[in-house]
Structure 1
Amino acid sequence: MLLSNRRRYFIELLHVIVIISILVVIAVKSYQVFLAKAEVTSMVYRFHFASAKTGNLMYFALHGEFPQNTEQALALLPPENWYIEPERKVVIEQGAVHVSSSTRRLAGKTLTMRPVVQEDDPTGAVHWVCGNKRESGWKVFGVDRTDIEDRHIPAVLK
């Protein structure tokens, strides 16, 4: 009788351990996705994108079109306003800002933020979209080179 109770408790303990293990695996996978989303958000909301966006908008305001390359956008900014982190590579082409990362999770991946304007008001407010987003009534500039998985792109950027 005593051995039977011990065996039953041991089996129940094994079930608890299996259930906790499954929950840990699920939590770790969710956490990895969370970290990747945080890194993508960091790529957009840190200084390097703000500098690129400012250069783009200044060029657009002066010339009525977006810069064709990074040098055109940089030419209008004082050097102290252009900040790029060493682990990021920023390239501007046809107004689109491509930010590449060399960090562990997103090594070699690129995120593209493209300027869009309303087709009926091309000199109006400039908005920014991520990925290959197309909506009627908007003119999108540049080519999308985003190769980050959709599940790693925060909803705010979609």
Structure 2
Amino acid sequence: MIEMVVVLAIIAILALMAVPSMQARLVREQIVEAMPLVDLARRPVASMWSTARELPQDNAAAGLPPPDRIVGNHVSSVRVEDGAVHVTFGNQANGALRGRTLTLRPAVVEDAPVVPVAWVCGHAPVPQRMTVHGRNRTDVPERYLPLNCR
């Protein structure tokens, strides 16, 4: 009986150690699931840069609906601001993510508009010889960000 209790205690300790990493994985999956909505905003921003060499100031300039109309299971709004795309999480998002924002900023080569726009996610470094536009409003805790956003 004592051996059984010891085994159960060890299993309980291991399970408690796994819970935080499991939550982080679930939150990261919800961020990845939000990316198709982000693509709706990234395409017109990149298109505007390649044709006019300027970035849209807001959703209307990008030809998108208002921010609170671009929603999904885990996203409550998608806002374009000076070319940057800000995703606010809500609806059925994990509590650690709800109300938080992830920013994707366009990085461009100023004197070469044929070079495609690179997107800098969250706190990721800017590619060499590229200029990033827009303000980073990312407030998602770093442990929850996908690897390409750190």
Instruction: Give your verdict on TM over 0.5.
Output: yes
8 Å contact 2:71–2:78 — kept in the other structure? no
CA distance in 2, matches of 1:151, 1:144: 17
- Shift of the 72–134 alpha-carbon distance from structure 1 to 2, 3 Å rule, reads same
**Which of the numbers 66, 70, 73 marks the counterpart of 1:84?**
70
Aligned equivalent of 1:100 = 88
Q: Give the C-alpha shift of residue 121 in structure 1.
A: 3.2
1:11 is the counterpart of 2:2: yes
Q: 1:25 aligns with which of 12, 16, 29?
A: 16
Counterpart among 26, 48, 51 of residue 59 in structure 1: 48
The 4+ residue runs of structure 1 with deviation greater than 3 A are 118-123
1:49/1:97 contact within 8 Å kept: yes
SS of 2:107's equivalent?
strand
Residue 6 of structure 1: aligned partner: none
Q: Which runs of 5+ in 2 are unaligned?
A: none
Deviations 1:47-78 (A, max 9, x none): x2111011112221232111111110016xxx
- SS of residue paired to 2:18: helix
Within 5 A, what are the aligned runs for 1:35-50? 35-44=26-35, 46=36, 48-50=37-39
> What count of residue pairs does the alignment treat as equivalent?
141
What is the TM-score when the length of structure 2 is the normalising length? 0.83
Instruction: Write the deviation string for residues 12-35 of structure 1: whole angstroms up to 9, x where unpaired.
Output: 222111100011112222211110
Q: How many angstroms does 1:104 deviate by?
A: 3.4
Q: CA RMSD in A?
A: 2.1
Task: Name the TM-score, length of structure 1 as normaliser.
Answer: 0.79
Whether 1:149 aligns to 2:138 is no
Q: Which has the higher helix share?
A: 1
Report the residue type matching 2:149 in the other structure.
L
Alignment of 1:116-135 (within 5 A): 116-118=107-109, 121-132=112-123, 133-135=125-127
Shift of 1:123: 4.2
